[in-house]
Amino acid sequence: MPPLSRFSVSRAQWRRLGLLLLVVALSFLPLFWLLDSHPIQQYDEARTGINGLNILRNHEWLVLRDGSMKPDLWNCKPPLWPWLLALSFKLVGYSELGLRLPSALAALATVLVVYYAGLRWLGGWEGGLLAALVLLTSPGYVSLHVTRTGDFDTLLTLWVTLGSLSWLRYLVDGQNRHAWLTGLFFFLATFTKGIAGLMFGPGLVLAVLATGQLRRLRRPAPWLALLALAVGIGLWYVVRESAEPGYLAAVWAYEIGGPSATEMEGHHYSFYWYITSLMEDKFTFWLVPALLGGVLGWRLAPGSRSWWLTRLTVCVAVCFLLVLAITRTKLPWYDAPVYPILALLTASGLLQMARAVAAQQHWRPGTLARAGVLALVVALPYWAQCRALVRTYDDRHQVPSLLFGKHIRQQVRLEPALKEYLLGTDGQFNDSPIFYQQAAALAYGHTSQITPPWRIAEYARPGQYVVVCGRKNRRIWERSFRTVVLLETDSCATLFLGAYPSK
């Protein structure tokens, strides 16, 4: 029998496990709490969810399709994210949770990556825990269209964060496997959101110069990794264009040439818009410590771990924000990938200030004292982040056209025999009702017809049922038919349509 000492766990190991569990526990409220309470959002989230549902409906994994079953050339990103959504729907269900759980898990993975990066490069558990909590309390990261919805950006952020840290390891130790890992992670980033996966590239090149590591570029590994990335993503575009021509033209129009050179759909703001957003709401609590981390860390003794981390993160953050600033089309979530980088900079700045004060005052605080100070620093931002989630939850009923999913689930529970009906929408551009229509078809075998107001005379007949959301939309149907209410939830109703008596 092996000695018991082989199975013993050291005090340091218990502490590492405890800190890891603490990070996971603190991640629950910002990332998972009330995750499925908000209805599917009407633009990108719903459209991407429909792509995932149609993969399962058609068993077609190469050409993504929109709500009308046509090739989706508006949402022309590579398919890694819809593939993961299809898997999630299969495992979790055709619901808000099925759509958003992959995003929340990718966010949790990113928090853990930042935590371990803080442990490694900032010299202690305080750096790891602080960096993770800064990320969890960044409103620009924990928000709709990033961690709280089923969009591309959280998975993109995970890959580019891993790629940047792998490149840092390569610059430090020159091991070829880190160059190959960098290429792999940026290939996955590109296969998640196309050209957006390469926007850290200028910063990574600048980091080579800032750290004086040009000699690393004289080795074949980084160039071979870059070649493999280019061949891999190029192969995807060739195969996809061959399967359904017109894809490459859509990629240029909606992903590369259009957003960078023209103002698309009115999304154009000033050159300083992203920086202003960081100051005003997205990174308000942490922007000053991040700037101090960059300035102070840049002047650290060359070769220290914090020096390496600062040089890379400053180069990546500055170049990335500059690229966003000169891009013509600007959207609030485009800056999502920068927040893990800024979280590490912030943790570095706070730790340098704390250590300077402690040295000045000749303090040697113990573990409990340091933990208490850290808790005081993050308590208010953490509380503010949770309050923001509550406000989002309170606003969940503000847009009636997004509420079909909740009502249909209640209808399944109370009226299980009703499987054929019309979906009376308001006729505005909105993929959310289409998502719920297709989810109900897959989950419950429902058959329904999207019916905007101008199609009522064409599709609706006495004796049918219609599901409508919003009082204004409901009144349109009540003017056209004598209705009987079968079921009501919030502003939604299932109506039986009857004919008005002949005059």
Paired sense of beta strands 420-424 and 465-469, if any = parallel
Query: What tokens appear for 391 in the block?
Result: 């406000």
Same structural domain, 460 and 311: no
Of 376, 394, 412, which one is at a domain's C-terminal end?
394
Strand order in the sheet with 465-469: 447-451, 420-424, 465-469, 492-498, 482-489
Q: What is the pLDDT of residue 265?
A: 56
Structural domain includes residue 473: yes
Q: Tally DSSP H helices, then E strands, for the chain.
A: 20, 5
User: Are 277 and 422 in a shared domain?
Assistant: no
| Residue 78 burial (CB count, 10 A) | 21
Q: How confident is the model at residue 368 (pLDDT cuts 50, 70, 90)?
A: confident
The pLDDT tens digits of the residues spanning 107-118 come to: 999 999 999 999
- Residue 1 lies inside a defined structural domain of this protein: no
What single-letter DSSP state applies at residue 455? G
Check whether residue 388 and residue 431 sit in a common domain: no
Whether 1 has a pLDDT exceeding 50, the answer reads no
* pLDDT tens profile 186-221: 999 999 999 999 999 999 999 999 999 999 999 999
Does 387 lie in the same domain as 425?
no
Q: Is residue 288 one of the residues assigned to a domain?
A: yes
Structural domain count of the chain: 2
Choosing from 345, 374, 394, the residue where a domain stops is: 394
Percent of the chain's residues with pLDDT above 90: 79
Going by C-beta distance under 8 Å and a sequence separation of 6 or more, which residues neighbour residue 134?
286, 342, 343, 346, 347, 378, 381
Element (H, E) at 495: strand 492-498
Q: Which domain holds residue 29?
A: 19-394
Q: Which residues contact 117 (CB under 8 A, 6 or more apart)?
A: 128, 131, 165, 309, 344
H helix or E strand, kind and range, residue 245: none
Summarize pLDDT for 333-364 with one digit per residue, the tens.
999 999 999 999 999 999 998 888 888 877 88
Domain co-membership, 382 together with 407: no
Whole-number mean pLDDT of the chain? 92
Helix spans in 32-152 (H):
44-58, 80-92, 96-121, 125-136
pLDDT for 53-73, tens place per residue? 999 999 999 999 998 889 988
375, 394, 413: which is the final residue of a domain?
394
Neighbours of 146 (CB within 10 A): 25
DSSP-assigned beta bridge partners for residue 247: none
Residues 111 and 172 reside in one and the same domain: yes
Q: Same structural domain for residues 359 and 406?
A: no
- Residues 372, 416, single domain; the answer is no
Give the Cα separation of 209 and 5 in Å (integer). Answer: 49
| pLDDT(422) > 90 | yes
- 4: in domain: no
Whether residue 78 lies inside any domain: the answer is yes
297-301, 327-331, 493-497: range with highest mean pLDDT: 493-497
Q: How far apart are CA 224 and CA 163, in angstroms?
A: 15
Other CB atoms within 10 A of residue 90 CB: 14
Q: How far apart are CA 79 and CA 76, in angstroms?
A: 9
Asked whether residue 9 is domain-assigned, the answer is no
Residue 99 neighbours by CB under 8 Å, 6+ apart: 40, 45, 49, 52, 85, 88, 89, 149, 150
**421 and 406 in a common domain:** yes
Q: Are residues 345 and 426 in the same domain?
A: no
Judge whether 3 lies within some domain.
no
CA nearest to 374, candidates 134, 142, 117: 134
Q: Taking Cα atoms as reference points, which of 494, 399, 493 lies closest to residue 38?
A: 399
Is 6 contained in some domain? no
pLDDT greater than 80 at residue 10: no
Instruction: Give me the percent of the chain exceeding a pLDDT of 70.
Output: 95
Residue 254: per-residue pLDDT: 82
> Does residue 258 surpass a pLDDT of 80?
no
Distance CA 309, CA 297 (A): 8
Does the model's pTM come out above 0.85? yes
- Which amino acid is present at 435? F
Within 244-264, where are the H helices?
247-251, 257-261
Question: Is there a single domain that holds both residue 421 and residue 389?
Answer: no
> Using CA atoms, how far apart are residues 482 and 503, in angstroms rounded to an integer?
14
Residue 408 CA to residue 435 CA, distance in Å, equals: 12
State the number of CA atoms in the 13 A half-sphere of 420 facing the CB.
6
pLDDT recorded at residue 42: 87
Per the listing, tokens 């590994």 go with 221
Residue 489, beta-bridge partner list = 492
Has residue 503 got a pLDDT over 70? no
User: Quick one: 372 and 464 in the same domain?
Assistant: no
Residue 260's pLDDT band, with cuts at 50, 70 and 90, is low
